[in-house]
Amino acid sequence: MIRVGINGYGTIGRRVARAVSLQDDMIVTGIVKTKPDYVSMVASKDFKIFVPDKTYEKAFIDAGIKVAGTLENLMDDSEVIVDATPEGQGEKNKDLYVKRKIKAIFEGGEEPEIAEASFNAYSNYDDARSKDYVRVVSCNTTALARTLHPLRERFGIKFVDATIVRRATDPNDSKKGPINAVEPSLSIPSHHAPDLKTVMKGLNVSTIAIKAPTTLMHVHAVRAELEKAISKNDVIEAWKGYRRIMEVGKNSGITSTGQMMDLAREFGRDRSDLYEIAVWTQSVSVDGNHVSYIQAVHQESDVVPENVDAIRSMFEIADRDKSISMTDGRLKIEKRVF
Ligand code: NAD
């Protein structure tokens, strides 16, 4: 049993904690919270609560929430820390992990240089093998790597051009926007292209990113030039063996992210999460060696299985396919076609 501490229990941290606690080969030693808010109140029933340092403790005690110790104490009892603190905080925390000689996983908001390897389970599982510091790439990069990896493996890719329509913020965040505007990122390529190359080495890719006033999901319009001419069926076939890609067809009646997340609610999963990248099969169009398709990305949860797999790769306890199968089994990710 690998002992996993979770530092930062927000959108990503709380999902990773739950996913780790469902696995047979790892356990959650505790979570670090900064405030005794409603999330702490609920979490205290399932996990030991730790605080970054002693100065945070009193507020929890005043709120009647038991504190098990500080981050230092959590590190004493853990073999790896998943750092899901807000972007930039992970970089500040790294010194603590290095000093304690404890392995750590960082999230996509951190710069790639924070880690020895960036990680996506399908495209570069082995790069995290035996590493001490690994970064799971962002939700958008994870989604692009998921659907492009099978195409690269089977047909080869000459060039990718992807337009990313990004959700403005997460559903629980009422402070960020835009709420009534569309906000393009004016640098092209957006930061997603270089990020994708950290897990798909040598890929020739450009990305454009545009923020839209929604909190549900991101949507990607992807166009790839392949090494050879293919048919639409070849593309669908290439995705068949990959459970983390969900195919959504015409008969499903799903034409928006609203319906896509409604479908996820029908699955009855924890927090109604959609770990899979949902590709609208109707959108897949092929012209010689060019393929275009549109996919939807649940930003709050698609990186969660990757965090679990990254732990197995770092501890060398399972090869890629075995780890993915174990993770998918426990998270009830199966090949779904609608
Ligand atoms: P979040 O703001 O939802 O959660 C971060 C949590 O960490 C909050 O509960 C916050 O109170 C807590 N925190 C703040 N400072 C802390 C500290 N010093 N020690 C411990 N906890 C602290 O953020 P998030 O969306 O979960 O993002 C975490 C990381 O995951 C970032 O790198 C982000 O870029 C990445 N990520 C986010 C998403 C997404 O869509 N939300 C998707 C993929 C990756």
Q: Using CA atoms, how far apart are residues 210 and 88, in angstroms rounded to an integer?
A: 22
Percent of the chain with pLDDT over 90: 100
- Condensed to tens digits (0 to 9), the pLDDT of residues 26-53 reads 999 999 999 999 999 999 999 999 999 9
Residue 97 Cα to ligand 1 midpoint, Å, equals 18
* Average pLDDT rounded to a whole number, residues 72-81: 98
Q: Is 166 a catalytic residue?
A: no
pLDDT category of residue 247 using cuts at 50, 70 and 90: very high
The total of other beta-carbon atoms located within 10 Å of residue 226's CB is 22
Q: Which of 16, 34, 215 to mutate to test the pocket of ligand 1 (most atoms within 8 A of CB)?
A: 34
- Compute the half-sphere exposure of residue 46: CA atoms within 13 Å on the CB side of its CA: 16
* Average pLDDT rounded to a whole number, residues 127-151: 98
Contact call for residues 334 and 323 (beta carbons, < 8 A): no
Closest residue CA from atom 15 of ligand 1: 85
The total of other beta-carbon atoms located within 10 Å of residue 130's CB is 11
Q: Would the CB of 150 count as within 6 Å of ligand 1?
A: no
Q: What is the pLDDT of residue 225?
A: 98
**CA proximity to 123, closest of 246, 285, 289, 244:** 244
Residue 167 alpha carbon, nearest atom of ligand 1? 40
**What does each C-alpha distance from 131 to 111, 116, 118, 119, 138 come to in angstroms?**
17, 7, 11, 11, 19
Catalytic residue among 121, 139, 318, 333: 139
Residue 95, C-beta contacts closer than 8 angstroms, at least 6 positions apart: none
- Compute the half-sphere exposure of residue 290: CA atoms within 13 Å on the CB side of its CA: 6
Residue 7 alpha carbon, nearest atom of ligand 1? 20
Q: Would the CB of 299 count as within 6 Å of ligand 1?
A: yes
Q: Using CA atoms, how far apart are residues 215 and 165, in angstroms rounded to an integer?
A: 11
Q: Using CA atoms, how far apart are residues 247 and 276, in angstroms rounded to an integer?
A: 9
Q: Is 158 helix (H, G, I), strand (E, B) or coil?
A: strand
Q: What is the pLDDT of residue 113?
A: 97
Q: Would the CB of 108 count as within 6 Å of ligand 1?
A: yes
- Condensed to tens digits (0 to 9), the pLDDT of residues 207-233 reads 999 999 999 999 999 999 999 999 999
pLDDT category of residue 309 using cuts at 50, 70 and 90: very high
Residue 142 alpha carbon, nearest atom of ligand 1? 43
Residue 139 Cα to ligand 1 midpoint, Å, equals 13
H or E, element range at 102: none
Q: Where are the beta strands (DSSP E) in the chain?
A: 2-7, 26-32, 49-51, 69-70, 80-83, 103-106, 117-119, 133-136, 157-167, 183-184, 205-212, 218-226, 245-248, 277-287, 290-297
- Condensed to tens digits (0 to 9), the pLDDT of residues 262-289 reads 999 999 999 999 999 999 999 999 999 9
